Structure 1
Amino acid sequence: MKNRINKLFDTKSSNILSIYFTAGFPNLNDTLSIIKSLDESKVDLIEIGFPYSDPLADGPVIQESSTKAIENGMTLVVLFEQLKTLRTITQKPIVLMGYLNVVMQFGEKKFIEKCNEVGVDGIIIPDMTLHYYISNFKDLCDENNVSNILLVTPETSEIRIRELDKYSSGFIYLVSSNSITGSANAISFNTEYYNKILNMKLSNQHLIGFGVHNKETFEIVCKFGSGAIIGSSFINNLKENGANKISIKQFVSSIRK
């Protein structure tokens, strides 16, 4: 059975905009209001980060938001409680992103079942190896109709990319460079890398992330993929303006205009 991510990519193959924010930031109970404002804007997919004290792939902006969210009291228990009414607010695809240690502490089976229960369509766990996914998560994800999105970087070999494509569901997260999120150097216009991915004609479409932060960078990477993920610049917007509906909509409009 297809989930909302699959249905999105069935109907749209270009200029897909995914927005990332950290649950519990800037305030503990902002999660649903941010989702509602994004739902009412021109966002195609919403990615919710659950905070972790040592987020290796994340730059200082997302790290700071994670620290604040933890201080605010955000946990997976709290997040799933908040998301109980998720599907009364939006029918857009929802992806949870975070780190394996947090999931293991919560309980892997319970985590995937809770995703299904509240209507989360996919997960991104950057530090989970493919072997660990196949051994511990694949059956759970299949049974609960939860997509597992895997990451490809410029260092990933072609053989490995095809293996990741085989086990990804939903889409592939194409990391723009070997940098951290939000880095000024993250967007690398390495056309050789992007074109290699395009020429491989993978089964999954891909979204490009790390360093996409405005209309210009969004439009550039959309030439090489189905769309892009924007995180750090949106979190900066939340930091400056809070979970203000008007500012959220203006941010998205500035990307889409």
Structure 2
Amino acid sequence: MNKINRLFSERGDRKLLSLYFCAGCPKLDMTADVILSLQSHGIDMIEVGIPFSDPLADGPVIQSAGTVALKNGMTLEKLFAQLDAIKSEVRIPLVLMGYLNVIMHYGYERFCKRCVECGVSGFIIPDLPFDDYLREIKPLADRYDLRCVMMITPETSEERIRFIDNHTDGFIYMVSSASITGTQKSFDEAKQQYFRRINAMQLRNPRMIGFGISNRQTLESAQQNAAGAIIGSKFVTLLREKENPTKAVEQLLEDLKK
């Protein structure tokens, strides 16, 4: 069974926590240390960012991390090599998150093949048109038993959400707002209504809520309205400040109690 599906099928009532970091930032060779440290601290799933020069969905924190990673020399091929070196040690799902241009130039099937070889369970492509997903990506993902995770926002229509739900597997990435990534102190009533509206749809796929989660209030709100939460910018910031994965994740877990 794909590790993503296993995670959600075996979690019971436990709320999940997934963390994002950008491969190659703050140091080129830190990928393995970050993944193994997060796993040892009980993180349920990890999103590994593929740096790109024009990340449209990302805020300044993750954009800056991508710039650093590219200057450090990170490439998709180097990332696969780093993941391949630790695949026997990684028990939790790894999800690659990258933009279409990088993956298209690498080659869709080559990308899927390398994901499987390196122990990756799925991927997120924020700028992937859904028609292209159905026509080109889904057949390959199905063949290689990979999960292509799609995003929904407060602006996504109910019809499109149900269409996504019916044509994907694994989980749905529920973006907390239509804006770019970044931390928020709280989720306002409009976002709470959005969460409740999606809950009422009783979708087939579990949902993870991301964008803006950085403290106890936003974490609990996300976990109350989905299978779990995804944290990106907050952890990326701590990782750059500490330059030590263990110190960064321990600080994050402490901050989430406040």
The normalised TM-score by structure 2 is 0.95
Question: Residues 14 and 200 from structure 1, CA distance in 2 versus in 1: closer, same or farther, beyond 3 angstroms?
Answer: farther
Q: Secondary structure at the match of 1:179?
A: coil
Deviations 1:86-111 (A, max 9, x none): 32222001100010000011111100
How far apart are residue 122 of structure 1 and its match? 0.7
Tell me if structure 1 keeps the 8 A contact 2:186–2:218.
no
Aligned AA for 1:4? K
Deviations 1:234-253 (A, max 9, x none): 01101110134233234235
Q: Distance in 2 between matches of 1:38 and 1:24?
A: 16
Aligned AA for 1:67? T
Unaligned runs of 5+ in 1: none
How far apart are residue 134 of structure 1 and its match? 0.8
Aligned AA for 2:60? P
Deviations 1:212-240 (A, max 9, x none): 01222111211111111000000110111
Question: Residues 62 and 7 from structure 1, CA distance in 2 versus in 1: closer, same or farther, beyond 3 angstroms?
Answer: same
Q: Secondary structure at the match of 1:174?
A: strand
1:63-142 equivalences in 2 (<5 Å): 63-142=63-142
1:51-70 equivalences in 2 (<5 Å): 51-70=51-70
Tell me if structure 2 keeps the 8 A contact 1:180–1:186.
no
Q: Secondary structure at the match of 1:85?
A: helix
Q: Secondary structure at the match of 1:90?
A: coil
Partner in structure 2 of residue 225 of structure 1:
226
Q: Distance in 2 between matches of 1:61 and 1:50?
A: 14
Q: Secondary structure at the match of 1:28?
A: coil
Q: Distance in 2 between matches of 1:163 and 1:103?
A: 24
Pairing 1:4–2:3 present: yes
Q: Secondary structure at the match of 2:20?
A: strand
Question: Residues 177 and 67 from structure 1, CA distance in 2 versus in 1: closer, same or farther, beyond 3 angstroms?
Answer: same
Tell me if structure 1 keeps the 8 A contact 2:235–2:248.
no
1:152-171 equivalences in 2 (<5 Å): 152-171=152-171
Q: Secondary structure at the match of 2:209?
A: strand
Tell which deviates more after alignment, 229-238 or 87-96.
87-96
Sequence identity of aligned pairs in percent?
44
Deviations 1:174-225 (A, max 9, x none): 0101111005488444222111111111110000001001222111211111
Aligned AA for 1:228? A
Root-mean-square deviation (CA), in Å? 1.6
Aligned AA for 1:43? I
Q: Distance in 2 between matches of 1:54 and 1:168?
A: 26
Partner in structure 2 of residue 197 of structure 1:
198
Deviations 1:123-166 (A, max 9, x none): 00000011101111111101111101000100011110000111
Question: Residues 106 and 148 from structure 1, CA distance in 2 versus in 1: closer, same or farther, beyond 3 angstroms?
Answer: same
Count of residues in Structure 1 that have an aligned counterpart in Structure 2 = 256
Partner in structure 1 of residue 244 of structure 2:
243
The normalised TM-score by structure 1 is 0.95
Question: Residues 192 and 245 from structure 1, CA distance in 2 versus in 1: closer, same or farther, beyond 3 angstroms?
Answer: closer
